[in-house]
Structure 1
Amino acid sequence: MRGWPVATAKVRHGVLHGVHKSGWLVAAVAAVLVLGACSGPAKASASDPSSTAFSGTASTGPVSPAVTVPPMTTSSGGADPSAPDPGTGGTASSPVDQSGNANPDDTNADPPPTTTSADPPTLTISPTPGSTTVNPAAPITAVAAGGTLTSVTLVNPTENVQVAGALSADKTSWQATQPLGYGKSYRLTATATNDDGQTVTGTSAFTTLTPHNMTMPYLEYTGRYPLTNGATYGVGIVPVVHFDEPIADRAAAQRTLQVTTSPHVDGSWYWSDAQNVHFRPKDYWPAGTKVTISANVYGVEVGPGLYGQSDVSTSFTIGRRQLTVAEDSAPKVDTVTVYDAAGKAIRTMNTSMGKHGGVTVDGRYINFYTPNGTYTVLDHKNPQMMSSASYGLPADAPGGYAPEPIYYSTRISTDGIFLHELNNTVWAQNHGYDVSHGCLNLNKANAVWFYNNSLIGDPVVIHGAKGAPQLQFSEGGEWSVPWSTWLAGSAIR
């Protein structure tokens, strides 16, 4: 029997600075633009404020330059004891006796003026004050020279929210450790102080960009099923990143995708259309591999005005290696044999596959063969409601059937092919007759065993039926795609 669920849900600044020294005030104001370029947003890390969370991302939109605040000492309006006397044109002197000689013993003499040789500290703040299109994933930083940072705050004054940040070990640099929001206003204020107590404070008020549209990535596997964090999958699992908007710049989007494995496994991405990109190695995953899939799209422009909505990540483990091979040997008995990692057969089961031929309904040919190719286990349902109408054959048409529950159903294709229990075809299973609509019928004991002993992602290879079509990519045939073709499907060469 072949079918789909009857009802399915689509898974689908510078400011004044100064210091009192011996009764006189020094203040400074200045701003110098320092322009930096980047190939994409650098994501801050709390442990290393200058590090990035991924490499090779695409351009992510405008990134504002920094502002450097070097000190510029000006008069504060107080009297300078070393300056000429404006009344006499002379210079300040110590008391003198009647002979005109200085009196070294006069205890009322003023002390010599004090001076400082140290320059006040400077600040470099990014982004530039007044920027209105700051990328929310770009680095937000404050850097001190000639001193250390003594205070840094980054706030969204509208929502009264403070953004977390990290200070370097030497206290000379600070960086925000979380991305900002789209279309929001922020104020960054930093103060630096040197060893002489001189300070400088800088402030930058800015606004982040507002995307025209956003796209959310979903981490799935074949058939639009969600990947489960912490799950164990078979060696044939094919992770898929599904975007809920068509991606115009596939290379930009693909650069945000990261696959981390232990041990190292080479693989490649393959775009099946503008919204779905699949990942697989050349051969099956090694058993025991630890895999983490990440889509770091936030702040990345993946089409004109289209930005990533949020970063997502999930981790899973590859389980034991198990391979199932089904042979359509009619008129001899069809068999399903399950092999372990050493290639030893651990169970052989009789089956009945798809009856040969097909029918034409409303100009569309419906094939009853079980296609040849490499499938993977996609889902387990007990029971699974099935109906011929789910693949286009009306229940009242010849060969059609009304919705009914089918037990111990293990799905292996997106168009409704299962290994499942069907005891009323045991006679066909044991005598080499193909009577199903494409599914592999099993007796109850075998259906239960396969249901309980297969992992999602286990490969199932079907071959032998003469005249049967080849499993298509859209039906779950990722492993039937030649490796050279798969590599050509990447947006990055």
Structure 2
Amino acid sequence: MEKRVMTDSKRRKGLMTASALLGGVLVLSACSGGDDGGGKAGASDTGDGASSQAKVDEAAAKKTSEAQIRITPKDGSDNASINNGTAVTVSKGKLTSVTMQTSTGTAVAGQISADKKSWKPTAQLSRATTYKIAAEAADSSGRVAHENASFATVSPANSFIGNFTPEDGSTVGVGMPVSINFDKAITNKAEVQKGISVSSSSGQEVVGHWFNANRLDFRPEDYWTGGSTVTLKLNLDGVEGANGVYGVQQKTVTFKIGRNQVSVVDAATKTMKVMHDGKTIKSIPISAGSPENKTYQGQMVISEKFKETRMDGSTVGFKNDDGKGEYDIKDVPHAMRLSNSGTFIHGNYWGAKSIFGSANTSHGCVGMSDTKGAGDPNTPAAWFYNNSLIGDVVVVKNTGDKTVAPDNGLNGWNLDWAAWKAGSAV
């Protein structure tokens, strides 16, 4: 019995030892599993985590909209266009809401397209302004996507505009060029000229001519065809006119050409013949510049009309020793400008009536008989004023003076066609 007990005791001790050893092996296995044998356990854990993450991702995917919203200009842009550069578009969905406002909270009106795929503002934006856009769209499952952007439009310092004549919707004479004066010097003349087109319903070829870095005029080889329509298109939005200076204009202008009226002033005979389509309809006695103050010769275009205006000699170089003008007439009637330097064709009530048609006595203008106050419609000056348009041509000859400079007023017709075309940058 005792021996059996001892044997059983040894057996139990042996089992305990085996168990301890087995436990040691297990512990050792657990420790070594961090390096090698435990790789299976690590892989099993990772697999379980990936499976769980996949389920999370799948759930998230079910909640994420497929709609993809794009806002232009992109977030953070500056020097953005004020015309056509702003838009919101969506793919794989439809727009449900778009709001746009300035940084100060002023709302900007806009319109979502009929297919709900795009949105644009309905008015021109302001320069040097920060705008914010918030857009929302839904995909085919109704899941919603959002997108936001903030951008700044081009500043006046970094943009240019062209002030043009004639006005939209006006009716002008056959000599009226399209004249554009830019508020910044243009160095990329070719690019700017490519962004401007001038065409006529008459089919006449129209070419641009740069007088300097700020002025670009357009005209055909011969005067415009009477009764035709001329269209000016300014597609300058985003065009770089100089380094870091961009255009902002996107505009179409149309104007009509009136009857063909060209008047010829002959300083030798002291008369002016008013012609329609080359035929004289009226002859008017005139007085041109005196031998000391000759009138420019050449083709001149009426650029402004004043029923009455002040003429002060000091503003055009005619000064007395005291600095005051040799003349200062506050109510010159029926005055029409022919040059920027002060050449006018106008009424004269202060001179002797006998000078008209017989003597040249002016300081360089062309005068016609008139009455004080510009109220009498029957004087020669009143008749000519009432029957003239901005853009009508007045040709002056036989004065003995030089030809007016082509850029002195709207007088580019004094360049022949080859010289005119040579001034084009395109």
TM-score after normalising by structure 1: 0.63
After superposition, give the CA deviation of every residue in 1:66-96 in whole Å (9 maximum; x if it has no partner). Answer: xxxxxxx932289xxxxxxxxxxxxxxxxxx
Structure ranking higher on relative contact order (CA contacts 8 Å, 6+ apart)? 1
2:163 corresponds in structure 1 to: 219
- Distance in 2, matches of 1:210 and 1:413, equals 36
Whether the 8 Å contact between 2:69 and 2:135 is mirrored in structure 1 is no
2:100 corresponds in structure 1 to: 155
- Distance in 1, matches of 2:368 and 2:124, equals 53
The 3-state SS of whatever aligns with 2:282 is strand
After superposition, give the CA deviation of every residue in 1:182-237 in whole Å (9 maximum; x if it has no partner). Answer: 4514234231322xx2535141423235548144535344xxxxx44432211111
**Structure 1 residue 132 and structure 2 residue 77: aligned?**
yes
Percentage of matched positions with identical amino acids: 27
After superposition, give the CA deviation of every residue in 1:374-421 in whole Å (9 maximum; x if it has no partner). Answer: 001122223332233222121359xx7220132222222222222223
Task: Describe the shift of the 1:313–1:159 C-alpha distance in structure 2 as closer, same or farther (beyond 3 A).
Answer: farther
**Structure 1 residue 353 and structure 2 residue 298: aligned?**
no
Higher helix fraction: Structure 1 or Structure 2?
A: 2
- Distance in 2, matches of 1:354 and 1:134, equals 52
Task: Describe the shift of the 1:448–1:174 C-alpha distance in structure 2 as closer, same or farther (beyond 3 A).
Answer: closer
2:316 corresponds in structure 1 to: 391
After superposition, give the CA deviation of every residue in 1:235-288 in whole Å (9 maximum; x if it has no partner). Answer: 111222222222232233333334354454431222212222112222212222
Task: Describe the shift of the 1:325–1:129 C-alpha distance in structure 2 as closer, same or farther (beyond 3 A).
Answer: closer
- Distance in 1, matches of 2:119 and 2:362, equals 67
Instruction: Kindly report which structure 2 residues correspond to 1:189-204, keeping only aligned pairs within 5 A, or say none.
Output: 189-194=135-140, 197-204=141-148
After superposition, give the CA deviation of every residue in 1:20-57 in whole Å (9 maximum; x if it has no partner). Answer: xxxxxxxxxxxxxxxxxxxxxxxxxxxxxxxxxxxxxx
- Distance in 1, matches of 2:363 and 2:385, equals 20
- Distance in 1, matches of 2:339 and 2:133, equals 53
2:207 corresponds in structure 1 to: 268
- Distance in 1, matches of 2:311 and 2:118, equals 63
**Structure 1 residue 402 and structure 2 residue 348: aligned?**
no
After superposition, give the CA deviation of every residue in 1:111-130 in whole Å (9 maximum; x if it has no partner). Answer: xxxxx9xx974425144864
Q: What is the one-letter code of the residue matched to 1:143?
A: V
Instruction: Kindly report which structure 2 residues correspond to 1:8-27, keeping only aligned pairs within 5 A, or say none.
Output: none
Instruction: Kindly report which structure 2 residues correspond to 1:106-145, keeping only aligned pairs within 5 A, or say none.
Output: 121-127=66-72, 130-133=75-78, 135-136=80-81, 137-145=84-92
- Distance in 2, matches of 1:391 and 1:297, equals 36
Q: What is the one-letter code of the residue matched to 1:406?
A: V
The 3-state SS of whatever aligns with 2:209 is strand
TM-score after normalising by structure 2: 0.72
Task: Describe the shift of the 1:243–1:193 C-alpha distance in structure 2 as closer, same or farther (beyond 3 A).
Answer: same
- Distance in 2, matches of 1:128 and 1:459, equals 48
Compute the displacement of 1:425 (Å): 4.3
Task: Describe the shift of the 1:180–1:439 C-alpha distance in structure 2 as closer, same or farther (beyond 3 A).
Answer: closer
The 3-state SS of whatever aligns with 1:213 is helix
Q: What is the one-letter code of the residue matched to 1:468?
A: D
**Structure 1 residue 462 and structure 2 residue 401: aligned?**
no
Q: What is the one-letter code of the residue matched to 1:338?
A: V
Task: Describe the shift of the 1:309–1:171 C-alpha distance in structure 2 as closer, same or farther (beyond 3 A).
Answer: closer
Task: Describe the shift of the 1:281–1:298 C-alpha distance in structure 2 as closer, same or farther (beyond 3 A).
Answer: same
Structure 1 residue ranges without an equivalent (≥5): 1-72, 79-115, 222-226, 359-367
The 3-state SS of whatever aligns with 2:383 is helix
Whether the 8 Å contact between 1:422 and 1:443 is mirrored in structure 2 is yes
The 3-state SS of whatever aligns with 2:59 is coil
Q: What is the one-letter code of the residue matched to 2:397?
A: H
Which is worse superposed, 380-389 or 259-268?
A: 259-268
Instruction: Kindly report which structure 2 residues correspond to 1:223-238, keeping only aligned pairs within 5 A, or say none.
Output: 227-238=166-177
Q: What is the one-letter code of the residue matched to 2:387?
A: N
Whether the 8 Å contact between 1:229 and 1:316 is mirrored in structure 2 is yes
Instruction: Give aligned pairs, total.
Output: 355
Compute the displacement of 1:446 (Å): 1.5
Whether the 8 Å contact between 2:241 and 2:247 is mirrored in structure 1 is yes
Task: Describe the shift of the 1:205–1:381 C-alpha distance in structure 2 as closer, same or farther (beyond 3 A).
Answer: closer
2:217 corresponds in structure 1 to: 278
- Distance in 2, matches of 1:168 and 1:382, equals 51
Structure 2 residue ranges without an equivalent (≥5): 1-55, 371-378
Which of 270, 287, 311 is 1:334 aligned to? 270
- Distance in 1, matches of 2:357 and 2:133, equals 76
After superposition, give the CA deviation of every residue in 1:299-326 in whole Å (9 maximum; x if it has no partner). Answer: 4432223233555554432211111011
Whether the 8 Å contact between 1:142 and 1:173 is mirrored in structure 2 is yes
The 3-state SS of whatever aligns with 2:186 is coil
Compute the displacement of 1:161 (Å): 4.3
Q: What is the one-letter code of the residue matched to 1:160?
A: G
Whether the 8 Å contact between 2:271 and 2:357 is mirrored in structure 1 is no
Instruction: Kindly report which structure 2 residues correspond to 1:272-311, keeping only aligned pairs within 5 A, or say none.
Output: 272-308=211-247, 311=250
Whether the 8 Å contact between 1:128 and 1:204 is mirrored in structure 2 is no
